Amino acid sequence: MPDFFINGQPVHAEKGETVMQAALAAGFYIPYFCWHPYLSVAGNCRVCVVEVEGEGGGSSWSDIACNMPVSEGMRVLTDSESVREQRKQTLQFILLNHPVDCGICDKAGECMLQDHHYAYNGEPSISTVPKVKATKYVELSDRIVLDNERCIVCSRCVRFTREISKSHGLAIQNRGDHSLVRASEDGRFNTDPYSDNVVDICPVGALLSRQFLHKARVWYLQATPSVCPGCARGCTVNLWHRKREWKLNALDPRQNTEIARVTPLENPAVNGPWICNKGRDLGQVFGRPRALQPMLKGREVSPDEAAAAARALISESGRPVALVSSWGANEELTAFKQALGDRFTCFVKRDCLPAAGEVVEDELLIRADKNPNTATAQQLFGSAPLTFPDGTDLVLVWGEGFDFTAVPRGARLIVLGSYLAPENGHADVFVPISIQTERAGHYTNFAGVTSHFAPLFAKPRHVVHAEEFFARLTVTAGIA
Amino acid sequence: MTGRQLIMDFPVTATSHLLADYQARGGYQTLRKVLTTLKPEDVTKEVTAAGVLGHGGAAFPVGRKWAVVKLDDGQPHYLCANADEGEPGTFKDRWILEHAPHLLLESMLMTCYALQVRNCFVYIRGEFDQPYRRLQAAVEEAYAAGYFGENILGTGFACDIVVYRGAGSYVCGEASALITSIEGKKGYPRNRPPRLTVRGLYQRPTVINNVETLSNVAIIMRMGAEEFRKVGKPKSPGTQLVSISGHVNKPGVYEVEYGYPLAKFIYEDCGGVLAGRGLKCIIPGGISTKVMTAKDIEGVTYDHKSMEAAGSQVGSGGMVVIAEGTCMVRLLHVMLRFYHHESCGQCTPCREGMGWMHRIIERIVRGEGQPGDIDALVRISNANDGTTICGMGDAAGYATVGIIAKYRDEFEYYIANKRSKCEGRLEVETAHA
């Protein structure tokens, strides 16, 4: 039984839904700026205007779809002559003093104003006088910068800080066309751990990330779905990196293998459309200096030699202990369990602990466990605290966050690590392993939701995938 | 006289605004009768039967507004008196607040009883100083006399009142912006639906009525709906307080019975136009209503039907008289400067449109007008019509379209000749000025 009609087609609506929600769910597109599925209705951009045909020959009326409750049998037109005319006029208002500096705007290419303008207006500003100037660069926080000329005062960012992050860090100052988005004087926006989301939800290029400012045109970038390893929430994210066909050969080839920016990948089961600021800085986590060379006591060897040496140590050992990484993917952890789980006494290692000054845990997303896959690791290897049994003669350390002074005297050491560290050269066997951006896999978050991450870059030549490396150790371990 | 007087029916003296004088005039007698002999729904029935229309500008039937509030819905209701009289040219509520505050309070008590309101508010504009002090004093007098608080007049009915001072924003006179302001937020109007009588102040059913509208409640309950309907016209019962200003010999507040001849009111009761000039036009009910030329007002009676037939509205009763020789371009400039300044900036058409229109008219007044400017003003006005959250965008548009429709030649002349077709000023010099 159809509830109402959009452009003559029957559409079902849930109770309490607005025309906007029902239309989007049914595959009809109504343009909008200020409306956001996860925020309250502000109804101030006026672009989502639709026409409702009058009943029984009555005259039709128009109103905004985002605030229009569906009523049984109503006939909504999303693209009628009068709707197009009103939309065009509203866009002319918005573009009246818009600087149209898309050429230097980070948002260009993914800007809702650009999209709507081309779809519904297409004409330059019809003002005949010079445009009103405004401040182009307002530092709202250490991370966010505001361009007042581009701002369309949709209040999405303000509502975000009130309804989602609850920092109340932003507000609109003044009134009329002097309205300005400003951060509160007490610096609450600066300490808002979710502040960068306002950059994503800004429908235009008004709020920009200072980190990403003028770093890349978005059409040179591509997004690879991944999982943020920053905490046990395991937010799904898009990791943006340079497209293969726009690879830089001359200017700065390092950019080809750098994460340009991180954005949330909407996932109602885990993180909604948000991520925290720490997740935005994944590029720094993965961009640390890498360990690229297998070593035996600091002597550079090939991966095969390292594997042989590790095999030998394991087969000689009487009582080997393994510290399993909680940053390992489900596949890697399972491979280790199958290959070496019986041979080693295994403990789960917390690779990362909360850093000084970091938000440890909150009600929105951030979890106290700063490792992505503790759930699977503990499921496979238990959650006993680390104690070295008497007679431990071999310690295998996989990943970071281990205090090497705790290694029992006389025990041999196998280290699998991704980043440069002083201990790498002291280990009997050091094997460089690939990082998350170089392999595919899955993490299971604290609530048991498993998410997939895909590789962005190729691994360096002598670096091995931990999963394959464990498999190579099996054969010998079994024979011995 | 301007017809029968219901509100201004007593001589103003140094003490006429005080409780003792009000009681001597029979004040609060009706309240006792209402609280002791009538049920809440009887009050609503009586007010609905009286057919009184809103006096704030929109002329919405009061009974229909009240009828939305369900007495048995199990949630608190609120009543707000809108004393944020910001419409330029309007200062009629001020008279009630200054000279008959107890009439308002008594009416509010009856309304609270009718709608089962425990807490009511008066939202008074920040610039009103004397009215605020008079009203606050009256509230204190009423509390001391036991008209507010618990167990009023021994009937068990309880009601409290708070006088809330606004900060002088025009848009806060809009009902939803008003309650947003009372809630302590920025005075932004809200989107409808939901209507305020469904979800208003603190998300509860709220009735917001103009001060003059509410003041009529005590009068209706005293006279009875049948008697009340004998005043005025069938479609517009009662009277309207008209605040008349501008180029007029006797400006001030007059109580005009609906159906009174408009021309007679202006030329005779108000003494006609200043300095013996001819009448150019009037703005009949606040600057957001369309202007009426001297010819338009001929034969028009002052009531909703007749005024609408003449192409304008009763509006808020804020009448501005404009003498021959006044420059309409400069008049519109002043009006648009006001709208630009007072736009709250929440929704796009008004935020951008008001500034745009102001900049255009400013350019015209500077002598830098361009041929397309008049059409641009009309187009922006039309783009604001019905597309904004509140009625302010519409209002500015009506005013602009109204003036341009009747005085387009003056605008064309100004643009072509870079000077006013008239004397180019808004003031009229009088003998003693």
Compute the distance between CA of residue B389 and CA of residue B301 in angstroms, rounded to an integer. Answer: 33
Residues shown for chain A: 480
Q: Which residue of B has its CA nearest to A33?
A: B348
Both tokens of residue A245? 């066909």
Looking at residue B355, which CATH number applies to its domain?
A: 1.20.1440.230
Partners of B383 on chain A (C-beta within 8 Å) are 86, 89-90, 92-93
Do both B311 and B377 map to the same domain? no
Q: Are residues B298 and B217 in the same domain?
A: no
Selected for mutation to probe chain B from A68, A93, A182 (highest B CB count within 10 Å) is A93
Please report where in the chains the tokens 């009555």 appear, as a residue.
A58
Q: Which of B192, B355, B386 sits opposite A176 (nearest CB)?
A: B355
Whole-number Å distance between alpha carbons of A263 and B6: 67
Q: How far apart are CA B323 and CA B50, in angstroms?
A: 37
Q: Which domain holds residue B367?
A: 328-432
- pLDDT for B75 equals 95
| A132/B351 Cβ within 8 A | no
Alpha helices of B224-303 — where are they, by DSSP H?
A: 225-229, 262-264
Residues of chain B neighbouring A126 (CB-CB closer than 8 A) = 376
Residue B359 lies in a domain: yes
User: In Å, how far is B117's CA from the nearest CA of chain A?
Assistant: 28
| Chain-chain contact of A44 with B387 (C-beta, under 8 angstroms) | no
Q: How far apart are CA B393 and CA B383, in angstroms?
A: 9
Distance from the Cα of residue A8 to its chain's centroid: 39
Residues of A whose CB is below 8 A from B351: 93, 153, 176-177, 179
Q: Check: CB of residue A207 under 8 Å from CB of residue A157.
A: yes
DSSP-derived letter for residue A159 is: H
> Which A residues, 49 through 88, put their C-beta within 8 Å of a C-beta on chain B?
49, 62, 64, 67, 69, 86
- Does the distance separating the beta carbons of A179 and B345 come in below 8 Å? yes
Structure-block tokens of residue A188:
């609450």
Token pair for residue B418?
A: 């870079």
Cα–Cα dist B100/B77, whole Å: 26
Tell me the pLDDT band of B433, cut-offs 50, 70 and 90. very low
B5 in any annotated domain: no
- C-beta of residue B165 within 8 angstroms of C-beta of residue B126: yes
Rg (CA), chain B: 22
Chain A interface includes B340 (CB < 8 A): yes
Please report, for the domain that includes residue B53, its CATH number. Answer: 3.40.50.11540
Q: Is residue B121 part of a domain?
A: yes
In a domain? residue B12: no
Q: In chain B, whose CA is at the least distance from the CA of A173?
A: B186
Residue B195 belongs to what H/E stretch? none
- Please tell me if residue B351 touches chain A, with a CB cutoff of 8 Å: yes
What does the pLDDT read at residue A253? Answer: 81
Domain final residue pick, B230, B251, B268: B230
On whether both B332 and B256 belong to a single domain, the answer is no
- Measured between alpha carbons, how far is A473 from A429 in angstroms, rounded to an integer? 13
CA distance A345 to A386: 10
**Interface test mutation site (partner B, options A35, A70, A92, max chain B beta carbons within 10 A):** A92
Which pair of tokens denotes residue A395?
């310690």
Burial class (CB in 10 A: 0-12, 13-18, 19+), A411: middle
Determine if the peptide bond prior to B61 is cis (ω within 30°): no
Taking an 8 Å cut-off on Cβ atoms, the answer to whether B344 and A153 are in contact is: no
Q: Is B351 left (phi over 0), alpha (psi -120 to 50) or beta?
A: alpha
Strand B157-165 with B206-210, pairing: unpaired
- Shared domain for B144 and B197, answered yes or no, is yes
B356 touches chain A (CB under 8 A): yes
CA distance A248 to A229: 28
A177 vs B352: CB contact, 8 Å cut-off?
yes
- Number of domains making up chain B: 3
Q: Which residue has the tokens 């008079």?
A: B134
The angle at the Cα of A406, spanning A404 to A408, to the nearest 5 degrees, equals 110
Is residue B29 domain-shared with residue B168, that is, in the same domain? yes
| Residue B13 forms part of a structural domain | no
Q: What percent of chain B has pLDDT over 70?
A: 99
- Which amino acid appears at position B368 of this protein? E
Q: Which two tokens stand for residue A109?
A: 């290419």
In angstroms, rounded to a whole number, what is the distance separating the alpha carbons of residues B360 and B379? 12
Interface mutation vs chain A, best among B352, B354, B366, most A CBs within 10 Å: B352
Q: Determine if the pTM surpasses 0.90.
A: yes
Tell me if residue A191 falls in helix, strand or coil. Answer: coil
DSSP alpha helix (H) spans, B343-391: 348-366, 373-384
The average confidence (pLDDT) of chain B is 94
Interface touch B347/A46, C-beta < 8 Å: yes
Q: Which of residues 111-140 of A touch B (CB under 8 A)?
A: 126-129, 132
Clarify whether residues B147 and B294 are in a common domain: no
Tokens describing residue B367: 């002598």
Whether residue B345 and residue A176 make contact (CB cut-off 8 A), yes or no, is yes
List the single residue in A with minimal CA-CA distance to B192. Answer: A67
Residue pLDDT, tens place only, B129-141? 999 999 999 999 9
CA distances from B114 to A222, A299, B67, B109 (A): 65, 93, 10, 9
Of B282, B308, B323, the residue at which a domain comes to its end is B323
- Tell me if chain B has a CB within 8 Å of the CB of A102: no
Q: State the pLDDT confidence band at B89, using cuts at 50, 70 and 90.
A: very high
B345/A46 touch (CB, cutoff 8 Å), yes or no: no
Residue of B345, B376, B387 lying closest to A177 (CB–CB): B345
Instruction: For residues A42 and A341, give the distance between their C-alpha atoms in angstroms, rounded to a whole number.
Output: 56
Helix, strand, coil abundance in chain B, percent, nearest 5: 45, 15, 40
Is some CB atom of chain A closer than 8 A to the CB atom of B143? no
Distance separating alpha carbons of residues B92 and A272, to the nearest angstrom: 53
- How much is the pLDDT for B367? 94
- Distance between CA atoms of residues A471 and A340, nearest Å: 9
Asked if B266 and B208 sit in the same domain, the reply is no
CATH number at residue B312: 3.10.20.600
Interface of B with A in 370-389 (CB under 8 A): 370, 372, 376, 383, 386-389
Looking at the fold, whether B337 and B317 belong to one and the same domain comes out as no
Where does a domain end: B323, B353, B375? Answer: B323
Same domain? B222 vs B312: no
Inter-chain CB proximity B383 and A89 less than 8 Å: yes
| HEC sequence for A282-330 | HHHHHCCCECCCCEECCEECCHHHHHHHHHHHHHHCCCEEEEEECCCCH
Instruction: Give yes or no for A175 touching B (CB within 8 A).
Output: yes
| Chain A nearest CA to B315, separation (Å) | 24
How far is residue B103's CA from residue A270's CA, in Å, rounded to a whole number? 60
Strand, helix or coil for residue B30: helix
Q: Do B6 and B239 contact (CB within 8 A), yes or no?
A: yes
| Pair B104, B205 in one domain | yes
Residues 325-344 of chain A whose Cβ lies under 8 A from any Cβ of chain B: none
Nearest to B355 among A155, A174, A177 (CB): A177
Which residues have C-beta within 8 Å of that of residue B227, sequence separation ≥ 6? none
Q: Cβ contacts of residue B311 below 8 Å, gap of 6+?
A: B290, B292, B296
CB-based contact (8 Å) between A21 and chain B? Answer: no
CB contact under 8 A, B345 and A172: yes
**CA distances (Å), B250 to each of A397, B228, B321, in order?**
96, 29, 11
Predicted pLDDT at B431: 66
Interface contact B356-A127, CB threshold 8 A: yes
Tell if the CB–CB gap between A177 and B348 is shorter than 8 Å.
no
Which tokens in the block code for residue A74?
């109503």
**Pair (B191, B254) in one structural domain:** no
Interface size A-B, in CB pairs within 8 Å, comes to: 86
Out of B346, B356, B363, the one facing A96 most closely (by C-beta) is: B356
Q: Are A444 and A232 in contact (CB under 8 A)?
A: no
Inter-chain contact B363–A129, Cβ cutoff 8 Å?
Answer: yes
- Which pLDDT score is estimated for A34? 96
| Interval B351-395: pLDDT, tens | 999 999 999 999 999 999 999 999 999 999 999 998 999 988 899
Which pLDDT value is given to residue A475?
A: 54
A128 to B353: CB separation less than 8 angstroms, yes or no? no
- In 10 A of CB B142, how many CB atoms? 23
Q: Give the angle subtended at the CA of B59 by the CAs of B57 and B62, to the nearest 5°.
A: 125
The pLDDT of residue B337 is above 90: yes
Yes or no: say if A103 and A109 are a contact pair by the CB < 8 Å rule. Answer: no
Put simply, the answer to whether B348 touches A44 (Cβ < 8 Å) is: yes
Q: How far is B109 from B143, CA to CA, in rounded Å?
A: 12
Number of H helices, E strands in chain A: 12, 22
Nearest-CA distance from A19 to chain B in Å?
Answer: 13
Report if residue B380 sits inside a domain: yes
Residue B388 belongs to some domain of the structure: yes
Put simply, the answer to whether A175 touches B359 (Cβ < 8 Å) is: no
- Same structural domain for residues B414 and B303? no
Q: Does B180 touch chain A (CB under 8 A)?
A: no
Residue B384: partners with Cβ closer than 8 Å, 6 or more residues away:
B349, B350, B353, B393, B394, B396, B397
Domain contains B8: no
Q: What φ, ψ does residue B154 adopt, rounded to 5°?
A: 70, 15
Separation CA B236–CA B233 (nearest Å)? 5
Angle between helix B211-223 and B40-50 (nearest 10): 100
CB B171 within 8 A of CB B342: yes
CA distance B166 to B168: 6
Which H or E run includes A180?
A: strand A180-183
Q: Which two tokens stand for residue B183?
A: 């809630």
The tens-digit pLDDT sequence of chain A (480 residues) is 568 999 999 999 998 999 999 999 999 999 999 999 999 999 999 999 999 998 877 889 999 999 999 999 999 999 999 999 999 999 999 999 999 999 999 999 999 999 999 999 888 888 888 899 999 999 999 999 999 999 999 999 999 999 999 999 999 999 999 999 999 999 999 999 999 999 999 999 999 999 999 999 999 999 999 999 999 999 999 999 999 999 888 878 888 889 999 999 999 999 999 999 999 999 999 999 999 999 999 999 999 999 999 999 998 999 999 999 999 999 999 999 999 998 999 999 999 999 988 889 999 999 999 999 999 999 999 999 999 999 999 999 999 999 999 999 989 999 999 999 999 999 999 999 999 999 999 999 999 999 999 999 999 999 999 999 998 887 544 444
